[in-house]
A and B are shown apart, each in its own frame.
Chain A
Amino acid sequence: MAERLSPLARFTPVSADDLRIAEIPFLTQINLRVDPKSRAAADIGLALGAPLPTEPGTCTSAGADVLWMGPDEWLVVGPVGDGLEETIRTAAGTAHVGITDVSAQRTVVAVDGPRSRDLLAHGCALDLHPRVFGPGRCAQTMLARAQVVLAAREDDGFRVFVRSSFAGYLADWLLDAAAEYLPEGTVTSR
């Protein structure tokens, strides 16, 4: 059987007291497009454990993570291969809904620890202060000139969704930007 290789398979996770960077590979990601006022949207919300978030820049994580991507668009993120697409398809029935598996489009980099905001702020123009961008917030923006989706989680944790082809670049950039927060000698790839 062919071995599945993640975009950051060759990236060595870094872990320090204040900062941890690691890839979370192969998460199931479903792009969902549906009229937020439709019956189907309510049914899908029910199946996913929480109503689809309609406030721009917010996400819910009752069961799967549901990230707001646009007024009629969401990104549903679940663990590796858990039949997420089937769940949504069943809930949507025959309604006018767009459901696309985009798992291979992006990989996820977890940036955790008290220094995570400082690190991301090196390359991101958004205000990442917990008062503005606390748990439950998400945003599509640029991080170090690469298009990313940022999702803030509890305890200063972030998930950075980055296009597979940009993942290597972004991981290198993160390591470089993190140099001042990591003990000497942690970053060996440069």
Chain B
Amino acid sequence: MLLIPCPWCGPRDEAEFHYGGQAHVAYPENPAALSDEEWARYLFFRDNPKGRFAERWNHTAGCRRWFNAVRNTATNEIEAGEVTA
């Protein structure tokens, strides 16, 4: 089980969190101008790196706030300095 450092509540069990996928996926500036393929790419295509990965987490059983964390997908280590509210 992961111990995830919530920026508000401190380290908590993984079971208290909801995963939000990749972080920093920007909403298209002009969605109407996108082709179907570009829109699908925005909606469904995500990075899948082995190593450092910035992702969104929600502390559902606690303060219910979203935050970003950088997790190493190979070791599951979460970088303490990279957890931002």
Binding site for B on A (CB under 8 A): 56-57, 69-71, 73, 125-126, 139-142, 147
Contacts and interface: CB of A to CB of B under 8 A. Distances in A.
B62 interface: yes
Interface in B32-74: 61-65
B21 to A, nearest CB: 22
B10 interface: yes
A70 B65 contact: yes
B71 to A, nearest CB: 20
Contacts of A73: 63
Contacts of A139: 9, 62
B63 A71 contact: yes
Contacts of B8: 56, 70-71
Contacts, number: 34
Given A70-B65, A140-B9, 6 more contacts: A69-B63, A73-B63, A141-B16, A142-B13, A142-B15, A142-B61
The 10 closest A-B pairs by CB, nearest first: A70-B63, A140-B62, A56-B8, A125-B13, A147-B61, A142-B61, A56-B9, A70-B65, A142-B16, A71-B8
A141 B65 CA distance: 14
B50 to A, nearest CB: 29
A155 B38 CA distance: 61
Contacts of A126: 12
A57 B64 contact: no
B13 A56 contact: no
A141 B61 contact: yes
A126 B10 CA distance: 10
Nearest to B62: A140
A140 B61 contact: yes
B5 to A, nearest CB: 12
A72 B33 CA distance: 37
A35 to B, nearest CB: 15
A142 B60 CA distance: 10
B16 A56 contact: no
B9 to A, nearest CB: 6
A126 B6 CA distance: 13
A125 to B, nearest CB: 5
Contacts of B15: 142
A126 B11 CA distance: 9
